Amino acid sequence: MAKKMVVLDDTNVRLTTTIGKAPCLVSFGYSKGATNQTTQLPATIESSDNGVGFRLTSNATITALSSQFSVGATDGVNTDLSAVLYKNGSTTNQNVTVTYNSVGNFGNSFGISPVSCSAGDTINIKFFQSRTGTTTSNHVFMVQMLIDVVV
């Protein structure tokens, strides 16, 4: 395995080796209610609403997304809740969409076209409802990735 020199600052340098890949799950959430939310709303991280998401520490490949939420009010018409993956503030055009038309808990997970990321990239989830007439809450989104293990 090839060593790679990483410059930490003006006086510190270290050699690193990538020894493989490990699965990693990153969660985002939005516990508040979202009513008639037809524009994208950023999910949060552990109650932090920084609007940027996570900064990756290593190279990674995102392979799947999942969504889980509660519907508290609906007019009974099919509605989609879509969670969209963002990288460095731009959409990746990869999402997980769940259709609902009744009150209850809903969710799904999807494998996506792999999204390559580099150390230092940021990832985030934004979500929206396809139409007005519903209220959702307790939103949980999961990003599944394979991340480089660097020593």
Arithmetic mean of pLDDT, 125-148: 94
Contact between residue 95 and residue 85 where contact means Cβ atoms under 8 Å apart: yes
Query: Is it the case that residue 98 has pLDDT exceeding 70?
Result: yes
Q: Is residue 136 part of a domain?
A: yes
Arithmetic mean of pLDDT, 109-123: 94
Residue 150 tokens, joined:
């660097």
Q: Is residue 35 part of a domain?
A: yes
How many angstroms separate the first and last alpha carbons of the chain?
11
Q: Is residue 96 part of a domain?
A: yes
Q: Of 45, 66, 56, whose CA–CA distance to 123 is shortest?
A: 56
Q: Is residue 2 part of a domain?
A: no
Considering the chain, what is the average pLDDT of its residues? 87
Arithmetic mean of pLDDT, 144-148: 94
Contact between residue 84 and residue 126 where contact means Cβ atoms under 8 Å apart: yes
Arithmetic mean of pLDDT, 86-105: 96
Query: Is it the case that residue 11 has pLDDT exceeding 70?
Result: no
> With bands split at pLDDT 50, 70 and 90, how would you rate the model's confidence at 89?
very high
> With bands split at pLDDT 50, 70 and 90, how would you rate the model's confidence at 149?
confident
Q: Of 130, 136, 137, 141, whose CA–CA distance to 78 is shortest?
A: 130
Q: Is residue 8 part of a domain?
A: no
Overall domain count for the chain: 1
Domain span at residue 56 reads 20-150
Domain with 60 in it: what CATH number? 2.60.120
- Residues constituting the chain: 151
Output the pTM of the full model.
Answer: 0.84
